[in-house]
């Protein structure tokens, strides 16, 4: 079912842009180093946990308004290099990303799929499940649905390639 849960759209992300020149609303993927973690005062429960990160082009603050999951917190140690994805917001002339995704360092695709969701699951969770399934599918032999002569005549991709490209297109 996940393989046939087709994205309804894609949004383009800028990969490693100059942080200093980012604009409000830009969707980015950026490599940064964790410089500092600021936990909110216990009396102010509405304040976010702020992770200050930077690279040679500027500084970005990652904001988490709830508890950070342990698997993410392990990556957010001072001095760690991380790959972050999210939408830029400017607040008091500072670049902020609220609830960013912490990506695998090998993530390079600048097209982010958007999937229809149900309550309690995020787009990133669905995308992660599908990517893990695609790794498994790569290792098995999927039977073709169409006769070979039709595939050759119309220059169609294999079933396996079509499933991969629908979730990971190389262009719009």
Reply yes or no on whether the pLDDT at 2 is more than 80.
yes
Query: Which tops the pLDDT comparison, 118 or 54?
Result: 54
pLDDT of residue 74: 82
DSSP letters spanning 70-109: HHHHTT--TT-EEEEEEE-EEETTEEEEES-EEE-TT---
Average pLDDT (80-86) is 91
Express each pLDDT in 12-68 by its tens digit.
888 889 999 999 999 999 999 999 988 877 766 678 889 999 999 999 999 988 777
Q: Give the mean model confidence (pLDDT) for residues 57-84.
A: 86
Most confident of 23-32, 68-77, 106-115: 23-32
Residue 101 is predicted with a pLDDT of 84
| Global pTM exceeds 0.85 | no
- How high is the pLDDT of residue 97? 94
């Amino acid at each position: 079912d996940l393989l046939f849960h087709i994205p309804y759209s894609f949004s383009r992300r800028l990969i490693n842009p100059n942080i200093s020149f980012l604009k409000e609303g830009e969707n980015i993927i950026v490599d940064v180093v964790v410089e500092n973690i600021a936990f909110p005062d216990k009396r102010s429960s509405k304040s976010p946990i702020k992770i200050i990160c930077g690279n040679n082009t500027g500084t970005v603050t990652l904001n988490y308004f709830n508890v950070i999951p342990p698997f993410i917190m392990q990556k957010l140690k001072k001095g760690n290099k991380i790959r972050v994805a999210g939408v830029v917001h400017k607040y008091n002339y500072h670049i902020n990303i609220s609830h960013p995704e912490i990506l695998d360092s090998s993530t390079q695709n600048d097209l982010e799929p958007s999937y229809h969701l149900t309550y309690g699951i995020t787009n990133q969770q669905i995308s992660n499940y599908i990517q893990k399934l695609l790794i498994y599918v790569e290792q098995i032999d999927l039977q073709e649905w169409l006769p070979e002569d039709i595939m050759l005549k119309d220059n169609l991709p294999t079933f396996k390639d079509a499933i991969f490209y629908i979730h990971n297109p190389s262009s719009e």
